[in-house]
Amino acid sequence: MKKPMRIRKALVASVSFFTLVPMLIAMAVSVVLFHMETSSRIRSENMRVAQTVSSAVELFLVRPLVMLKHVRDVAEGIGRFEEKRVEGVVNSVLEDDPLFESVLFLGENGELMVAAGPMAMAHDHPHRQNYSSSELFRLVRQEGRAFWSEPYVSLRSGESVISLALPWKGGVIMGIMNLSYFCKLVEPTRASSGAYAFIVSPAGRLIAHPDRTLLGEKEAFISIPQIIAGLHGTSGTYSFNLGERSVIGSVLPFASNGWVIVSVHDKEMAFAPLQKLERLLALLTLLVLLTAMALVYRRIGKITAPFLALTESSRQLAAGEDVRERLEFSAYLEIHDLYDNFQSMATAVRSRERELQDRNEELAVAEEELRHQVDEYLRTQEELRSEKKKLESILACMGEGLSIQDRNLKVMLQNNAHREMVGDFTGRSCYEMYDRSDEPCVNCPVLAAFKDGATHVVLHQVMKGETIHYLEVTASPLKDSSGEIVGGIEIVRDVTGRIVSEKEILRLNQELEARVIQRTSELEAANRELESFSYSVSHDLRAPLRHISSFSSILSSEHGDRLSGEAKHLLGRIVAGCEKMGRLIDDLLELSYVSRHGLKRGEVDLSRIARRILTSLQEISPERGVEVEIDEGIVAKGDERLLEIVMTNLLDNAWKYTSRKEGALIRFGMQMIAGKPVFYVRDNGAGFDKSYSDKLFVPFSRLHGQEFEGTGIGLAIVQRVIHRHGGKIWADSVEGEGATFYFTLG
């Protein structure tokens, strides 16, 4: 029976429910409709912007195509092809409309014949430069029509550009155009609500974006599935993440050249007015509810006051007290009638009470005795019921299967898990469950438990359809209060997954061991071949170099008086080239040594190594006044020989690139970043352009010209050593102000 509720509480709850629920439903419907309308508006606006940008791009693309065809026609109209005449005519055309930075004329084999335009000087495009391997050149030659290239960074201007190419006299004419023209097409789409449009190339690079610093980027867009779908010709409006922001974006393929136009709205900013409306509706609902509750509470208090008084009169009647009469009980007629009936009932009750009092005294003794018997019976029943519920709850929540069997192996009880494993066999023999047999199992654990009173565990195989399942059965004896065994208890666990996993792990371990042996053998053979090759190259190259250097020195010293100045200069260049080749061989051997040398980790004093290297450099060049700063006590764990190679290369570079700096400074130190030690070598020398930092650690790649000596191997060796230690290396620089190389060790 449910607990009674007060009338006032019930009325307040009912009024509140029938007031609040409709308001909440109305508010929810309004919010959903506003949300749908806002989403529809944004999607429609996005697609409209994307179509507008598409039309603008289509109109704009006519201009460079027409202009490049005009340049081609002008060049063909000259007659006999002469580089200076073609260059002059093209430059005059470009002066009238400087759409292209430069125009290149390529022969049928890809050789550069003429380069014209404000950003194309003759010395920037030597005629020996060849574009036959260019994807753009290949496409134009094969298809015989115009093609656009992927965006790239111009080495001349340092800005993002794109090329348009047309067929020309068996070759190709190529116009290079700054991407800022395309950015102007999408800049008007930027709005204060976080809306803008951008253009993506078939390779996923940005062609146009209101933020011009992002031009040419690829990674942030090629990983978005919706943009990838657009690159494959699918248009539509979607919700997706652009960086760390959630946006609603429309993707529209540009059919003529495979570009994709994307128009997006920032979700958070677009739905901000809707969120304000939701908060306003919630506040309004709360105010209405509180006002209604206050008014209802006051009104219901007046209605329920007579009932409370009637309740008090009932209590007095039940307690045998005199019920006090009231002249005006309530303002409601129904309550007046109820009170009159209550007074008549109270008189009748008092009369019957006197009649029953005598009978009650006679029954009191019998009632007391019966009460004791009933209490004892109820207490016993409650205890049995409680124990039964506990047992049922325990059996129901057990993940393992449980069955109880009598001395004849008949199943008396199964829980749900046990039925799911083997089926319902209550009242039947247990060996019918597992082996579908008419006799007990040979290794029956229950029979074994009956014999010795201990616990036994066996593994059963059970067929479920076409599949074998493995069941682990644990059997224990069931005893009565006197200690006699009256049955057995089985706990069953389905261990099919574990058995299958163990077999699979065993098989995989055997395969892995065989692969490890094979790969180890192959690696050892490869290392032996590499070592043999390194020493062979070192020996076979050094002998001819020594001969060339020696013979050149003999010619210069013994026959110098018969040689011209230019011949002596060339002999000097030969000797210097031999020396540089020797250093290159040494660096290659050192790179090979770093790759195959086994790590011997230990405590390495990097401060001591840095001091020794810089002292040696100062002794070699005492005329240089280089200021040296070395933090004391910098110790790292690693291979001392390999770490000395790292420090030597980094400090040699710092010494070399500060050679033309007044007040040169070289510093070696350590700082903590994210709880890890980071070592650095800093100088205030020549520095480098950070846009080419990805070439720093590529072998034979140098960012400086012949003014600084070097083979281009040193930083590749440093990176190889750092990676072998499980660390990483990176650099920061400002051209003309110095560079800092950071590295960590795993």
Q: What are the backbone angles phi and psi of residue 482, rounded to the nearest 5°?
A: -90, 0
Q: What is the mean pLDDT of residues 642-652?
A: 85
pTM: 0.39
- Assign 1 a pLDDT band (cuts: 50, 70, 90): very low
Nearest to 463 by CA among 474, 455, 471: 471
Question: Taking 70 as the threshold, does the pLDDT of residue 97 lie above it?
Answer: yes
Q: Can you say how many angstroms the Cα of residue 434 is from the centroid of all Cα atoms in its chain?
A: 49
| CATH of span 599-743 | 3.30.565.10
Residue 528 burial (CB count, 10 A): 11
**pLDDT the model gives residue 536:** 59
Tell me the per-residue pLDDT of 669-723, one tens digit each, with 9 for 90 and over: 999 988 899 999 999 888 887 776 667 776 655 555 455 565 567 778 788 888 8
Range 78-178: architecture per CATH: 2-Layer Sandwich (3.30)
**pLDDT the model gives residue 635:** 92
Token pair, residue 632, equals 């004391």
Question: Taking 80 as the threshold, does the pLDDT of residue 534 lie above it?
Answer: no
Fold match between domain 7-67+193-305 and domain 599-743: no
Cβ–Cβ < 8 Å for 7, 301: no
**pLDDT the model gives residue 166:** 92
**pLDDT the model gives residue 667:** 93
Q: What is the mean pLDDT of residues 161-170?
A: 88
Q: Can you say how many angstroms the Cα of residue 666 is from the centroid of all Cα atoms in its chain?
A: 40
Q: What is the mean pLDDT of residues 629-658?
A: 87
Q: What is the mean pLDDT of residues 469-481?
A: 83
Q: Which residues contact 734 (CB under 8 A, 6 or more apart)?
A: 687, 690
| CATH of span 398-493 | 3.30.450.20
Task: Pick the range with the lowest mean pLDDT from 102-116, 271-285, 429-443, 566-580.
Answer: 566-580
**pLDDT the model gives residue 584:** 61
Cβ–Cβ < 8 Å for 409, 428: no
Token pair, residue 316, equals 């007095």
Question: Taking 90 as the threshold, does the pLDDT of residue 496 lie above it?
Answer: no
Range 7-67+193-305: architecture per CATH: 2-Layer Sandwich (3.30)
Cβ–Cβ < 8 Å for 103, 116: yes
Cβ–Cβ < 8 Å for 113, 83: yes
Q: How far is CA 680 from CA 288, 632, 637, 665, 668, in A?
A: 66, 13, 16, 14, 6
Q: Is 122 helix (H, G, I), strand (E, B) or coil?
A: helix
Residue 715 burial (CB count, 10 A): 22
Distance in Å from the first CA to the final CA of the chain: 70
Cβ–Cβ < 8 Å for 127, 112: yes
Q: Is 490 helix (H, G, I), strand (E, B) or coil?
A: strand
Cβ–Cβ < 8 Å for 414, 405: no
**pLDDT the model gives residue 545:** 64
Nearest to 174 by CA among 113, 258, 96, 118: 113
Identity (one letter) of the amino acid at 136? L
Q: What is the mean pLDDT of residues 483-501?
A: 82
Helix ranges (H only) for 252-332 are 267-270, 272-318
Bridge-based pairing state of the strands 601-605 and 635-639:
antiparallel
Q: What are the backbone angles phi and psi of residue 130, rounded to the nearest 5°?
A: -130, 135
**pLDDT the model gives residue 669:** 93
Tell me the per-residue pLDDT of 243-259, one tens digit each, with 9 for 90 and over: 777 888 888 888 778 88
**pLDDT the model gives residue 712:** 61
d(CA 418, CA 433): 11
Q: Domain residue spans in the chain?
A: 7-67+193-305, 78-178, 398-493, 501-572, 599-743
Could you give the dihedral angle defined by the CA atoms of residues 541, 542, 544 and 545, in that order, rounded to the nearest 10 degrees?
Answer: 110
Task: Pick the range with the lowest mean pLDDT from 227-236, 325-334, 356-365, 458-467.
Answer: 325-334
Q: Which residues contact 181 (CB under 8 A, 6 or more apart)?
A: 60, 99
d(CA 21, CA 609): 78
- Assign 539 a pLDDT band (cuts: 50, 70, 90): low
Tell me the per-residue pLDDT of 379-409, one tens digit each, with 9 for 90 and over: 878 877 777 677 767 766 776 788 888 888 8
